[in-house]
């Protein structure tokens, strides 16, 4: 059976580095590893050029190249004969490849230093499987589960069950009463129905320079509240570029970036290298997939997935999760619209009063300069969620108020919420979860859509300062 280039998708994930030979015009051969081969179309592949190296100079003189690719599941070898065709420095192919290079660069503190110079497109002259590479008497080829027995890949796709699964998730999104429920039930559904065990939703903060996780699955309590700068890491770059990014063999990429960083540091003594950025989420993730959540042209968040299996995500996952991401984005957008103040469905609950004999006293300090609240000496929350919390704590203390509406928060200019599509819901989720984690004696309990009660089980002291 003739092998087609499009059948080699697993080889294009970059889990096992490919090798490449070229020769200059005098006939001197050159052989090297290449980090990834990109599939372009049934008769073309692309290689990334980050440095004008010997390979690049050779193909300028003599356009022929040989590339060996390995299937990371079976360790089978595929041999390609290539002829350099053209290079691209803009356009969709370049952008896709550049985003991946940016991920490596941002993780290893080399943003702007280590970048894609061009996408070099080669025509595939021949392709064959080198059946003899693997010893037929050796143990059977490794299965993908070998990479991580703990994390099995997705169950075999069955079109009807996939469609029913998507229908179930879509239903959860449509029926959710609030944003917290929408995100929690969707991530749970993706785990239960499709075995996406590590997922998160991050939203941009008020200054649109960082992403904050407001929902997560498979990371424990620590998952929510995690932050990453927009433009850093897979999630941050997906947000900055508004582009889906899939990275396999994350460990390999980071090691590769680290090596290049060391070479820059050793040889040039560069001082502009930023500190290396730890991966958000799983410390041992080997595959990541990040999808921007877009409502019209607005970025409302990022949907991120991780796995310890380097081959966990493929083109099916990209297509499937893009549908889910679009639904989540529309859901977030819907939740952010000004809610109708419905008539009370349930009577407002009386708030808990601080027990008179309670000797616990919570000391909250608000720092005006960086809009941060500390509980005692411990950081609690900042920016808009901090301003909201400070407002309601003060009103509770001064006026004895216990119930608040989203609408009054929206109308308060001092909170600095934008007039339209203000992300208030996600700010409230973040605040509620930070309290549950750091300060369980203070709770914000929804009483009905658009209203919540402030419950405080302790005496409270409020202190306001200009700066720390």
Partner 1 sequence: MITPELARFIESGISVLVGTRDARLRPDCVRAAGVRADAAAGTLTVFLPAATAERALANLADNGRIAVTVTRAIDHRSLQIKGGVVEVRPSSPDEQSFIERYLELLAVDWGHVGVPRKSTRSMNAWPAYTVHLRAETLFEQTPGPDAGQRLTPEAAAQSHRAGAR
Nearer to partner 1, 134 or 294 (CB): 134
**Least distance between partner 1 and beta carbon 150 (Å):** 13
**Least distance between partner 1 and beta carbon 260 (Å):** 4
Q: Is residue 114 within 8 Å of residue 105, measured between CB atoms?
A: yes
**Least distance between partner 1 and beta carbon 49 (Å):** 12
Nearer to partner 1, 287 or 328 (CB): 287
**Least distance between partner 1 and beta carbon 111 (Å):** 16
Nearer to partner 1, 31 or 163 (CB): 31
Nearer to partner 1, 226 or 251 (CB): 251
The set of residues, in sequence order, having a beta carbon less than 8 Å from that of 181 and lying 6+ positions away, is: none
**Least distance between partner 1 and beta carbon 37 (Å):** 13
Phi-psi region of 199 (alpha: psi -120 to 50; beta: other; left: phi over 0): beta
Q: Which long-range contacts (C-beta less than 8 Å, at least 24 apart) are formed by 257-263? A: 257/104, 257/105, 257/107, 257/108, 257/110, 257/114, 258/108, 260/108, 260/110, 260/114, 261/108, 261/109, 261/110, 261/114
**Least distance between partner 1 and beta carbon 57 (Å):** 8
Nearer to partner 1, 4 or 255 (CB): 255
Nearer to partner 1, 83 or 449 (CB): 83
**Least distance between partner 1 and beta carbon 53 (Å):** 4
Q: Is residue 440 within 8 Å of residue 425, measured between CB atoms?
A: no
423, two tokens: 């992300």
**Least distance between partner 1 and beta carbon 151 (Å):** 13
**Least distance between partner 1 and beta carbon 314 (Å):** 18
In the block, tokens 């560069």 appear at 270
Dihedral sign computed on CA atoms, order 40, 52, 107, 233: negative
49, two tokens: 């050029």
Nearer to partner 1, 138 or 346 (CB): 138
Q: Is residue 319 within 8 Å of residue 289, measured between CB atoms?
A: no
CA geometry: angle 387, 393, 394, nearest 5 deg? 90
Partners of residue 288 on adjacent β-strands: 247, 306
d(CA 24, CA 64): 10
d(CA 230, CA 222): 20
What residues make contact with partner 1 under the rule CB under 8 A? 16, 19-23, 25, 27-33, 35, 51, 53-55, 57, 62, 64-68, 75, 77, 81, 130, 132-136, 138-139, 141-142, 146-147, 251-252, 255-256, 258-260, 262-264, 266-268, 286, 310
50, two tokens: 């980050």
**Least distance between partner 1 and beta carbon 241 (Å):** 24
The set of residues, in sequence order, having a beta carbon less than 8 Å from that of 461 and lying 6+ positions away, is: 361, 362, 363, 364
Nearer to partner 1, 35 or 106 (CB): 35
- 65 three-state secondary structure: strand
CA geometry: angle 415, 418, 424, nearest 5 deg? 70
Dihedral sign computed on CA atoms, order 319, 324, 328, 331: positive
Nearer to partner 1, 66 or 229 (CB): 66
d(CA 173, CA 176): 6
Nearer to partner 1, 82 or 213 (CB): 82
**Least distance between partner 1 and beta carbon 259 (Å):** 4
Q: Is residue 217 within 8 Å of residue 199, measured between CB atoms?
A: yes
Short-list 235, 437, 464, 229, CA closest to 368: 464
Nearer to partner 1, 132 or 297 (CB): 132
**Least distance between partner 1 and beta carbon 287 (Å):** 12
Nearer to partner 1, 136 or 156 (CB): 136
């Amino acid at each position: 059976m003739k092998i087609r280039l499009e059948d080699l998708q697993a080889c294009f994930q970059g889990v096992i580095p490919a090798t490449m030979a070229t020769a200059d015009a005098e006939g001197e051969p050159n052989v090297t590893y290449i980090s990834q081969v990109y599939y372009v179309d049934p008769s073309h592949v692309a290689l990334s050029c980050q440095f004008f190296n010997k390979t690049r100079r050779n193909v300028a003189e003599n356009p022929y190249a040989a590339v060996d690719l390995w299937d990371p599941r079976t360790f089978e070898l595929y041999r390609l004969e290539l002829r350099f065709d053209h290079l691209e420095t803009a356009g969709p192919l370049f952008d896709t490849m550049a985003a991946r290079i940016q991920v490596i660069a941002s993780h290893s503190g080399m943003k702007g230093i280590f970048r894609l110079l061009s996408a070099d497109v080669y025509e595939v002259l021949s392709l064959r499987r080198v059946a003899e590479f693997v010893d037929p008497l050796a143990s059977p080829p490794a299965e993908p589960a070998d990479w991580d027995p703990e994390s099995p890949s997705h169950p075999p796709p069955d079109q009807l069950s996939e469609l029913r699964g998507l229908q179930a998730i879509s239903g959860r999104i449509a029926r959710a009463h609030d944003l917290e429920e929408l995100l929690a039930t969707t991530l749970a559904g993706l785990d239960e129905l499709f075995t996406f065990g590590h997922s998160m939703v991050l939203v941009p903060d008020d200054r649109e320079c960082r992403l904050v996780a407001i929902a997560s699955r498979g990371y424990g309590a620590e998952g929510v509240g995690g932050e990453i700068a927009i433009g850093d890491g897979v999630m941050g770059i997906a947000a900055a570029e508004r582009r889906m990014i899939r990275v396999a063999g994350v460990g390999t990429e980071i090691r590769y970036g680290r090596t290049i960083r060391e070479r820059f540091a050793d040889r040039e003594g560069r001082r502009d290298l930023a500190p290396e950025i730890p991966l958000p989420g799983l410390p041992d993730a080997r595959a990541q997939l990040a999808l921007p959540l877009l409502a019209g042209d607005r970025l409302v968040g990022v949907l991120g997935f991780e796995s310890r299996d380097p081959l966990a995500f493929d083109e099916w996952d990209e297509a499937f999760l893009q549908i889910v991401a679009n639904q989540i984005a529309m859901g977030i957008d819907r939740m952010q619209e000004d809610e109708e103040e419905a008539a009370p469905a349930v009577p407002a609950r009386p708030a808990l009063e601080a027990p008179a004999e309670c000797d616990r006293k919570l000391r909250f300090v608000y720092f005006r300069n960086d809009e941060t609240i500390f509980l005692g000496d411990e950081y609690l929350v900042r920016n808009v969620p901090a301003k909201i919390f400070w407002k309601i704590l003060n009103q509770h203390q001064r006026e004895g108020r216990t119930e608040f509406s989203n609408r009054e928060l929206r109308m308060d200019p001092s909170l600095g919420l934008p007039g339209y599509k203000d992300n208030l819901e996600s700010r409230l989720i973040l605040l509620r979860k930070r309290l549950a984690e750091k300060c369980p004696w203070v709770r914000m309990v929804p009483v009905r859509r658009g209203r919540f009660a402030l419950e405080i089980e302790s005496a409270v002291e409020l202190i306001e300062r200009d700066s720390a």
